[in-house]
Amino acid sequence: MKFDDFDNIMRVYETSCDHCSLPGIYMVTRIDGRNFTTLSRKICHFEAPFDVKMRDLMIETTRRLMRCGFTILYGYTQSDEISLLHSLRETAFSRKHRKFNSILAGEASAMFTHLLGTPAAFDCRVCELPSTALVTDYFRWRMEDAHRNALNGHCYWHLRATGKSLKEATTQLSGMSVAQKNELLFSRGINFNDLPLWQKRGSGVYFTFIEKTGIDPRDRSPVTTTRRQLVTEMELPMNDDYAAMLKNILRADDGKPGLH
């Protein structure tokens, strides 16, 4: 058989389940650390429940992903996960999910491992959101998750510090209301409201535009160019204010490729 015929026959098996997102649908990718419970506790001995080094590695990885060949408007990270909002006009890899999942998981794993100096792996999934309202809800959902995890994490580690076993602390927490968890922390001198916002809300990364003035080497005339730069926000607003921030990012989406 000629190679071209052989290639055509075999290609079908490779591409038969190659799902693509339709035009007009927002794509959000979520990249999540694999087995980070073990990595944090047994391998790297990160401070619990929150370690500034872990936060900074996740933010640096998010910033890398926002410049790795996709058109991304906003990156959000909390715990061991990163969510990326792609431009509505994202055209990378013909919007093929297999490419998004494999490339973003690979890039995140490579960057995080490089920064940490110990092997770490991430998975990735694509979420398809048909409206800006659902995009906003998606990011509010992840922030709610961060908030819940922060309260549970602080309570859990305080119970452990008082001598409770893993099982005892988990059982005690599972029967408690949010108010009781707040009271538990308060009785040990911690006001949950006073904890750093990045722990309760996660961190966001987005692009801003800056104007730079230079000299045109051809005629020595002054020229002004616009550059995009990444900004990291560790004190994100919440609720309606967060929704307004996301709305602004979505409104400014010109979908221009090649700006990463």
Ligand X SMILES: Nc1nc2c(ncn2[C@@H]2O[C@H](COP(=O)(O)OP(=O)(O)OP(=O)(O)O)[C@@H](O)[C@H]2O)c(=O)[nH]1
Shortest approach of ligand X to residue 222 CB, angstroms? 47
Query: Which partner in ligand X, Mg ion, none is near 93 (CB below 5 to 8 A by kind)?
Result: none
Partner interacting with residue 18 (select from ligand X, Mg ion, none; CB below 5-8 Å by kind): none
Tell me whether residue 67 or residue 160 sits nearer to ligand X (CB atom).
Answer: 160
136 binds, among ligand X, Mg ion, none (CB under 5 to 8 A by kind): none
- Report residue 232: phi and psi, to 5°: -105, 130
Tell the smallest beta-carbon distance from residue 199 to ligand X (Å): 9
Of these partners, Mg ion, ligand X, none, which one is at the site of residue 157 (CB under 5 to 8 Å by kind)? Answer: none
Q: Which residues bind Mg ion (CB under 5 A)?
A: 32-33, 36, 80
CA separation for the pair 52, 67 (Å, rounded): 23
Q: Which is nearer to Mg ion, 33 or 204 (CB)?
A: 33
Nearer Cβ to Mg ion (153/237): 153
- In DSSP terms, 227 is beta-bridged to 210
Three-state DSSP class for residue 177:
coil
Between 27 and 31, name the residue whose CB sits nearer to Mg ion.
31
Side chain identity at 41, as an amino acid letter? R
Question: Radius of gyration (Cα) for the chain, nearest Å?
Answer: 22
Q: Residue 81's closest CA among 45, 29, 129? A: 29
Nearer to ligand X, 57 or 73 (CB): 57
Residues near 125 by beta carbon (within 8 Å), at least 6 away in sequence: 29, 30, 101
Q: Whole-number minimum distance, CB 250 to Mg ion, in Å?
A: 27
- Cβ closest to ligand X, residue 58 vs residue 246: 58
User: Min. distance of Cβ 128 from Mg ion in angstroms?
Assistant: 22
What's at 204, amino acid-wise?
Answer: G
Q: What is the nearest approach in angstroms of ligand X to the Cβ of residue 166?
A: 12
Dihedral over alpha carbons 28, 133, 138, 111 (to 10 degrees): 30
Residues that bind ligand X (CB under 6 A): 32-37, 40, 46-51, 54, 79-80
Least Å distance, CB 34 to ligand X, is 4
Q: Which residues make Cβ contacts (< 8 Å) with residue 29, sequence separation at least 6?
A: 83, 84, 86, 100, 101, 104, 124, 125, 126, 127
Sign of the Cα pseudo-torsion (155, 159, 160, 162, in order): positive
